[in-house]
Amino acid sequence: MEGKFWMCYVERSAGCRYIHHDLEEARIEAERLSKLRGNEDKRVYIMESTQCCYIEYPPVVWYKL
């Protein structure tokens, strides 16, 4: 996965589940989540990706003998 993305987090919930590649899509989703039954007193946060890391293993190299 490359590029910036956003995720919505409802406080006191299990966590984020969907990646939005557009901020406006994340805002629409945050509004939808805030209107769900049971979320009336919870804040919905939009979190933005800022950095990522991964371990890059060297490839296997074959030599002809």
pLDDT (tens digit, 9 = 90+) per residue, 21-58?
A: 999 999 999 999 999 999 999 999 999 999 988 888 88
SS3 call for 30: helix
Enumerate residues 6+ apart whose C-beta is below 8 A from 48: 4, 5, 6, 23
Domain locations in the chain as residue ranges = 1-65
Q: What is the pLDDT of residue 1?
A: 54
Please, are residues 5 and 21 in contact by the beta-carbon 8 Å criterion? yes
Radius of gyration (C-alpha) of the chain in whole angstroms: 19
* pTM: predicted TM-score of the whole model, two decimal places: 0.76
Which pLDDT band holds residue 3 (cuts at 50, 70, 90)? confident
Nearest Cα to 18, choosing from 34, 33, 35? 33
